Chains A and B, each alone.
Chain A
Amino acid sequence: MYGAQIAFRNYNPALGFTGSPWVGLDHFVRFVQSFQFGRLLENTLTINALGLLIAFPIPIVLALIVNQLSSPRFKKFTQTVLYAPNFISVVVVVGMIFLLFSPRAGVVNNVIALFGGEPVFFMGDPDWFRPLYIGSDIWQNAGFSMIVYLAALTAIDPSLHEAARVDGANKWQRIWHIDIPGIMPVITILFILAIGNLFNLGFEKVLLMQTDLNLPTSEVIQTYVYKAGLQQAQFSYSAAIGLFNSAINLVLLTTFNWVAKRAGQSTLW
């Protein structure tokens, strides 16, 4: 936090944090006016918003299904397998993508060849960056996110289910009228938290997945901060961009919390 002040100064290592000249909002203005600004904002928003919309419901669906399984053994096995990828490092997951989707010897392209298709250079194609990023995110995290919903589901009073069953409600109806309303508070809170992190998610993975060829869609605000700041040593400029990013996050978080409160849902504070 202390170091964040350099965003408003022209940082010079010889002068130190407090000794460098104060320039106010100059760096912010320069960023907003720069030619990359539109593209960075668009890429950051698209990848995160798409990721949220597609990935958010999947753990909920999985939890609702797993919760209905009657065999405890199959239930435990499914849970273990589904959340195992969470423990694989990001580096390895991205490494696996590069290997499996490689144009020369990747198993995916072998399948495509088997059906007579042309090999696709997945990692070099800007159009494929988003599907691969979001898909691998679901592959790695959906099972682990499922656990929280499963816990919320076990907290639902079983007598509700028994009663509904006696009344002749089938599984679809019980999920719709008992399970989903029962875990709604948890869904709302996790959704608000996800919105608050909209600009934060998975930056390390984006950086790893970047190739020179997919930059048009894969360059996001935080990877730009990393390059401008640490690789080109424009400390103050990039710190300002980073701060801009956190500010947007905070605004989003408070806005959606307020919306949820107005809608009568449970909120963070």
Chain B
Amino acid sequence: MTQALFQPGARLSTKKPPRTPGTWRERAADPMFNVIAVGILLVGIIAIIYPLYFIVIASVSEPNEILNGNVWLWPRGFTLEGYQRIFSEASIMRGFANSVLYTVVGTAISVATILGAGYALSRKDLFGRTFFTFLFILTMFIDGGLIARYLVVRELGMLDTIWAVVLPGAVGVWNLIIARSFFEGNIPDELREAAQLDGANDFRFFFRIALPLSKPLIFLMIMIHLVANWNAFFDALIFLNDENKYPLQLVLRNVLIQSTVTDAGGAGALDSYAAAQRLGELIKYGMIVISTIPLLIVLPFMQKHFTQGALLGAVKS
């Protein structure tokens, strides 16, 4: 019934929707909605921004001021000691370098294999296509478990090497499915047939035609893996024993979380316990800032690609 009553363009002529007749309660419904809606969103926004903002101002404040509850909106007793200490700490800098290495290598391996495998699975003339797809999807639901994974990595002799961190989780099935659907939807068979008539073999077609047409997909995959690799810590926790190979997230865990229990604050070299504690707090706030804030600042510029990715995945499910 509502469909029949609606005439295209009818609302365009009037500036406001027709005034709702009826009681005061009925007329107040929409303004009330707006107030509640904006109220909920503002609470959410503040709940997200304030903790992050607090971490930033706490990282440059005198720790005693935080202790006494004087730091709320602005830094008190401005100091850069925490940052000086962080940048002179060898283990943190090494963790940083390791993380950069693992992230670059891991992302390169993941993106290369996912694009290759995704493209192959998208080709309808692939031998055993259904079988291979089934094999991949099976691993989404059945999984050997943590212990089996650990033992396999150990048997392969990869413990304490970079490969233990970058290889086991390299191909996420979910991302593989996204890649496959993208190729299926955007690289038509006719295109390949035309290229073959012109003398292009499969490799040439993949590198010269299919990939250049898939830039949004490539960009999305690179972004997903950069973030995931940078933030990963668990594989490093179970597969790496050598502290010199720890990525930043593991160093962070030891400083931020493990040390809270004992309150040593990751500044053991300092002479007095009180001073160590004081600096320890500063270091913790500062480390959260340097490991996280750069990512959050570039985020708005990449938002479009991430939402597209979320949608690609959602549409398929």
Q: Which A residues have a C-beta under 8 Å from some C-beta of B?
A: 1-4, 6-7, 11, 16-17, 61-62, 65-66, 68-69, 78-82, 84-85, 87-92, 94-96, 98-100, 102, 104-105, 107, 110, 113-114, 123, 139, 143-144, 147-148, 151-152, 159-160, 162-168, 170-173, 186, 189, 193, 196, 204, 208, 211-212, 222, 225-226, 229-230, 235, 238-239, 242-243, 245-246, 250, 253
Contact = CB atoms under 8 A, between A and B. Distances in A.
A166 B63 contact: no
User: In terms of DSSP, what is the predominant structure of the interface of chain A?
Assistant: helix
A96 B47 contact: no
B185 interface: no
A212 B261 contact: yes
B6 A3 contact: no
B6 to A, nearest CB: 4
Nearest to A80: B300
B261 A171 contact: no
Nearest to B21: A168
A96 B53 CA distance: 12
Contact of A3 (B33, B151, B287): B151
A83 to B, nearest CB: 8
Given A65-B40, A65-B41, A151-B314, A91 B257 contact: yes
Contacts of B67: 104-105
Nearest to A111: B69
A193 B141 CA distance: 11
A89 B311 contact: no
B141 A250 contact: yes
A167 B17 CA distance: 10
Q: Which of A11, A162, A204 has most B Cβ within 10 Å? A: A162
Given A99-B284, A171-B29, A225-B146, A166 B6 contact: yes
A168 B234 CA distance: 55
Contacts of A239: 144-145, 147-148
Contacts of B291: 89, 92
Interface in B131-161: 139, 141-152, 155
Q: Which of B11, B29, B37 has most A Cβ within 10 Å? A: B37
B3 interface: yes
Contacts of B33: 68, 170-172
Interface of B: 2-3, 5-6, 10-11, 17-18, 20-22, 26, 29-30, 33-34, 37, 40-41, 44-45, 47-49, 51, 54-55, 58, 63, 66-67, 69, 71, 139, 141-152, 155, 227, 230-234, 238, 249-250, 252-253, 256-257, 260-261, 281, 284-285, 287-288, 291-292, 295-296, 299-300, 303, 307, 310-311, 314-315, 317
A122 B35 CA distance: 34
B292 to A, nearest CB: 5
A164 to B, nearest CB: 6
B257 A3 contact: no
Contact of A99 (B3, B44, B55, B314): B55
A101 to B, nearest CB: 10
Nearest to B251: A91
Given A99-B284, A164-B2, A171-B29, A81 B49 contact: yes
Contacts of A11: 151
Contacts of A245: 145
A82 B30 contact: no
Contacts of B41: 62, 65-66, 69, 78
A165 B66 CA distance: 53
B314 A186 contact: yes
A87 B227 contact: yes
